[in-house]
Structure 1
Amino acid sequence: MKVFKLVSGILSIVFSLVVLFQSVAAGLGESLGGASTSDGALGFFVAILMLAGGIVSIAVRGMKKNGGNIAIVVIYLLSALFAFTGGSYFKDLSVWGTFCLIIAVLAIIDIFKKKKHA
């Protein structure tokens, strides 16, 4: 699972930049179009959480204990929650929420794999 954490960390960092640019564009579109949603702000929070999750994922990839995996699960589930609550104006937010949810589920699987081998 070390490779998974490295790859998911790198992808999260790269995707967080994409989400950040999309959320700025969505926020600008919301303000210019007079929309009453806050999808741009939610996208910003998703981008920050994805960046934090990517950094944590890379930093804890060699740990033997489950503390790092629990942190990854919490960060990505929170990010997915933010992503799924928005998305009325910023439609791609649900795609990023699904990405975060997949990483959280894989980290949960890694927690249970480590418990089985211990």
Structure 2
Amino acid sequence: MKKVVGIISIVLFAIVEFQSCAAGIGNAIQNSKEASGSAGLILGFAMLIAGILSLVSKQNKGIVITAIVFYVIGAIIGFANIGTFKDLMIWSVISLIFAVLLLLHLLKNKSMYSK
């Protein structure tokens, strides 16, 4: 499951970054004070880092926990900056779901990580 979450995160990174750049350009053109485009960029990079970490964490509990933290931080930043870029809420929820999935994987496979 870690590999699937990691691969999906890396693929979603490209989509989130493209949409965030478009939202950032829209915010700049409208001269608004919103930061939803920038928050989307940060969320995308957090998902990319967490996805890579979940792919490389074979039986290392610390790396999985670090990936969970990156997913949660990305989700918090996304939820805090939802503005005109409403898709940011969707990407934040997905990031939070990935964090929960990795946490459940960690709890389910305690014996594998305690070696």
Structure 2 length as normaliser, TM-score? 0.91
Q: How does 1:37-116 map to 2 (within 5 A)?
A: 37-60=34-57, 62-63=58-59, 65-115=60-110
2:22 is aligned, of 15, 22, 25, to 25
- What amino acid is aligned across from residue 79 of structure 2 in structure 1? F
User: Gaps (5+ residues) in structure 1?
Assistant: none
Q: How many Å apart are 1:6 and its aligned residue?
A: 0.9
User: Gaps (5+ residues) in structure 2?
Assistant: none
Is the 8 Å Cα contact of residues 79 and 100 (structure 1) preserved in structure 2? yes
User: How many residues get paired?
Assistant: 113
- What amino acid is aligned across from residue 57 of structure 1 in structure 2? S
Identity %, equivalent residues = 35
RMSD in angstroms over aligned alpha carbons? Answer: 1.4
